Amino acid sequence: KQEVTQIPAALSVPEGENLVLNCSFTDSAIYNLQWFRQDPGKGLTSLLLIQSSQREQTSGRLNASLDKSSGRSTLYIAASQPGDSATYLCAVNFGNEKLTFGTGTRLTIIP
């Protein structure tokens, strides 16, 4: 079964610190992987998309990496800010035209 896991479920970090969010998946034959942000009661905002042939993608303070052989992806957030507080979701396209999501990591940045 193709599954996506995100641990921890919640994380609190003081403002200004760098942090890493983790995502693991059960099948290394992925098509791509996408990181999303979700604010309470809102829809999903796409942050980064990594193709299966890529190792990482960067956007501003965000950097996402992909290691297919180990079934892992990380989202690195530099110099965290209170506005970064949200739930971060990892989603994998296993090549079957739909995304399989993890349950997310709820991030709180403490001012």
Q: Which is nearer to other proteins, 52 or 63 (CB)?
A: 52
Alpha carbons within 13 A on the beta-carbon side of 22: 11
Minimum CB separation of residue 70 from other proteins in Å reads 20
Minimum CB separation of residue 41 from other proteins in Å reads 8
Minimum CB separation of residue 102 from other proteins in Å reads 5
Binding interface with other proteins (CB under 8 A): 4, 31-32, 34, 36, 41-46, 49, 51-52, 89, 91, 93, 97-104
Q: Which is nearer to other proteins, 59 or 81 (CB)?
A: 59
Beta strands in the chain (DSSP E): 4-5, 10-14, 19-25, 32-38, 44-51, 56-59, 62-67, 72-77, 86-93, 99-101, 105-110
Q: Which is nearer to other proteins, 1 or 111 (CB)?
A: 1
Distance CA 22, CA 36 (A): 13
